[in-house]
Amino acid sequence: MRAALAEAEAALATGDVPVGAVVTDDAGTIVARGRNRREAAGDPTAHAEIEAIRAAAAAIGGWRLDGLTLVVTLEPCTMCAGAITTARLDRLVYGAQDPRAGAVGSLWDVVRDQRLTPVPEVLGGILADDCLAVIRRFFSGRR
């Protein structure tokens, strides 16, 4: 999660909401990184999770990300939850909950919906206070 937090901090340089993500293998080695780049790229789909998933697919040479874990600082939205399932990631680890748009338990639970397979293992609340602090700092500077 600390590596994902570093990616979130890096998103601040482009004015993007500070959300960061990494994809790791079973040994914990980082395979790919991503951060929010919607402002920087002018792309509404450039969420940290999508960026990390795309980078992981490029790194391993295929779209099936079996055996890999996505670690992200904020609970994924519906788009990202769908991508996690579609990419066949084995695990999702996230930091802070997102009561406004979270799709891994807060508003919806897309990732654990048994109608969508495979269903990844989910661990939430990891370093949640640290993850939330970065986002709060960002928005407090904007209000």
pLDDT for 124 equals: 98
Can you tell me the mean pLDDT for 99-108?
A: 96
pLDDT for 143 equals: 61
Single-letter amino acid code for the residue at 25: D
Residue 100 is assigned to a ligand binding site: no
pLDDT for 142 equals: 74
Active site residue 51: no
Q: Which one of the listed residues 7, 49, 51, 75 is annotated catalytic?
A: 49
Residue 20 is assigned to a ligand binding site: no
Choose among 100, 18, 111: nearest CA to 70: 111
Mean pLDDT estimate for the chain: 96
Given a cut of 90, whether residue 10 has pLDDT beyond it is yes
Q: In what order do the strands lie in the sheet with 69-74?
A: 30-35, 20-24, 69-74, 91-96, 121-123
Given a cut of 90, whether residue 87 has pLDDT beyond it is yes
- Any idea where the domains of the chain sit in the sequence? 1-137
Q: How many CA atoms lie within 13 A of 53 on its CB side?
A: 27
**Whether domain 1-137 has CATH 3.40.140.10:** yes
Residue 77 is assigned to a ligand binding site: yes
Percent of the chain with pLDDT over 90: 94
Rama region for 42: left / alpha / beta (φ>0; ψ in -120 to 50; rest)? left
